Structure 1
Amino acid sequence: MGDFSLAKIRGEIPFFIMSYIRYTIVIDEPADAELLIARLIDAGFEGMEEEENEIRAYAEKDNVDENFVRIMLQEQGLKYTRQELGEQNWNQIWETDYHPIIIEDFCMIRAAFHQPLAGVKHDLVITPKMSFGTGHHATTYLMIDAMREINFSGEQVLDFGTGTGILAILSAKMGAGQIVAVDNDDWSIENAKENVIANDCSNITVLKGDSTTELGIFDILLANITKNFLIENLADFRQHLRLGGVLILGGFFDADEEEMLRTAELNKMHKVREYRRDGWACLVLKKKA
């Protein structure tokens, strides 16, 4: 079913002392970002930071074919700057820049070195490595916002493309029964397992894979990936949902919502609600007969 991990698409910068380079690329439209990010990953970049009109791509200096990158960017007419960052302690930089996320009184997403906040229903301790999912990116925030409206009590949940495991962990905190968290990236698998332990979630099984085959039937399926992957695999997701089951999809731009909804209707999934933030969208769908 293809490469669905976001660990190396919108992930954090690796935590090592090493020499890195950064390309800052100006983009005209947010919709241009997805394909560009995929091509940068192919070229060897390991971490991305997205802003409204630019992408900052990071890589270990010796791991990137910079000639390929320059030609690619020039062919697309994209303006960019390149900067050598030198040897830096990325773990220390991350700890300085990593701030907790608080979503009203619903949940707090923090690192272990942050103090918990009284009065918040769900406290999540998430330490990202190169994995996607801290709540800082709009797509993860939207998924969490959508989840708060769903009753997870006793439900069987699949978190497909789990990254840090954040959505699986939140599902557990919300009272879900058994939870399966799947990713095809080794960093994500290791990271998700560590975060599951840190949050004392014994009902989460973390698996490496790139398919829903043999995973069973679920009440709720979470997929925060990319538009193309979601469209290509929506029919398969439906097969792994019970009748009336809930599918929460994120990772696509709000401009792509109509295409997502057309695909959903073709697969007998109807819209329950939608969420938008910073040009991104999230859909809550329900399986109909």
Structure 2
Amino acid sequence: MQNYLEFNFKINPPKPWSEILMAVLIEVGFDSFTEETDGILGYIQKDIFNEEDLKNLEIFHNEEINIEYSFSEMPNINWNEEWEKNFDPINIEDKVLIRAEFHESGDFEHEIIIQPKMSFGTGHHATTYLMIQQMLDMDLKNKKVLDMGCGTSVLAIFAKQNGAAETLAIDIDEWSVENSIENAARNEVELIIEQGTAENLGKENFDIILANINRNILISDIPTYVSVLNAGGKLLLSGLCFFDVDDILEVCTENNLTLEKKIQREEWVSLLLSK
């Protein structure tokens, strides 16, 4: 197991800044969070933490908010135990239930059973909700799909449950690849799963690309996504806060993408674009 640092961020005012802080902390390597009444707890692997990167984040210099933090080392944390303490099922419009094996089943059109190998933070709940909410209105049948930055591969699994053809799931983290293999088997769907980044792309094209990542990676990788997206194809994005939208849309416009639908949940946003 990796040694982690636990950060206690005291935030004034907590709303809406707790959600916004989680979004920007992901960009410097934080991978899980727990919400507190007066802020958040954030977790990052000790060997990748750089305090200068943290201090240089613009949010710490924003006069509308005051953030104080302390941190301590948490050796050999069992993320499965931490996740089970905090994870509740995700109910998406009473149509889709994302749950763990220890949760009860329900009367839903679709159920996705996952068992992450790391904590599943609140921000992930919101953006996963938005992505699947968008996918509910998309024609996935017989479409070739890419789930970029797949994490648990919940989006790829949902695509396959809705008739997608060949579906590729890619993530940079080894834990995500292992977890995706397990979750695909758990949900009895067939996925092609690779470890890597957008550099893996280029050999084949896709009808639909799903990318629930973060602002900086999306800005960097959107041109690559467009290069492997079929004409008339769809690019579905999330992992974005409302203040990221203008920058993302600027890159999308430069790459000849058209915005079809934007939805928001709390501070989080999803964008559906077409080529």
Give the partner amino acid of 1:94: W
Describe the superposition over 1:217-271 as per-residue Cα deviations: whole angstroms up to 9, x where unpaired. Answer: 1110000111121112211111111110000011111122122222211111101
CA distance in 2, matches of 1:71, 1:158: 31
Aligned residue among 137, 144, 148 for 1:160: 148
Give the partner amino acid of 2:193: V
Give the partner amino acid of 1:129: K
CA distance in 2, matches of 1:142, 1:20: 29
CA distance in 2, matches of 1:173, 1:25: 39
Aligned residue among 267, 272, 289 for 2:255: 267
Call closer, same or farther: CA 1:255–1:206 in 2, change over 3 Å.
same
Matched, 1:220 2:235: no
Alignment correspondent of 2:165: 177
Give the partner amino acid of 2:43: Y
Alignment correspondent of 1:110: 99
Give the partner amino acid of 2:137: E
Contact 2:7 2:72 in 1 (8 A): yes
Q: Give unpaired runs (5+ residues) of structure 1.
A: 1-15
Alignment correspondent of 1:11: none
For residue 156 of structure 1, report the CA deviation from its aligned partner: 0.4
Aligned residue among 158, 171, 177 for 1:189: 177
Matched, 1:205 2:192: yes
Contact 1:160 1:181 in 2 (8 A): yes
- Alignment RMSD: 3.3
Alignment correspondent of 1:240: 228
Taking structure 1 as the reference length, the TM-score comes to 0.78
Give the partner amino acid of 2:8: T
CA distance in 2, matches of 1:138, 1:247: 19
Taking structure 2 as the reference length, the TM-score comes to 0.81
Call closer, same or farther: CA 1:134–1:35 in 2, change over 3 Å.
closer
Call closer, same or farther: CA 1:114–1:36 in 2, change over 3 Å.
closer
Matched residues, percent identical?
Answer: 35
**Higher alpha-carbon deviation: 102-111 or 128-137:** 128-137
2:225 is paired with a residue whose SS is helix
1:137 is paired with a residue whose SS is helix
Q: RCO greater where, 1 or 2, for CA within 8 Å and sep 6 or more?
A: 1
Give the partner amino acid of 1:47: S
CA distance in 2, matches of 1:65, 1:238: 31
CA distance in 2, matches of 1:37, 1:114: 28
Aligned residue among 9, 22, 28 for 2:6: 22
For residue 54 of structure 1, report the CA deviation from its aligned partner: 3.6
CA distance in 1, matches of 2:135, 2:151: 17
For residue 50 of structure 1, report the CA deviation from its aligned partner: 5.8
Q: Give unpaired runs (5+ residues) of structure 2.
A: 62-66
For residue 139 of structure 1, report the CA deviation from its aligned partner: 1.3
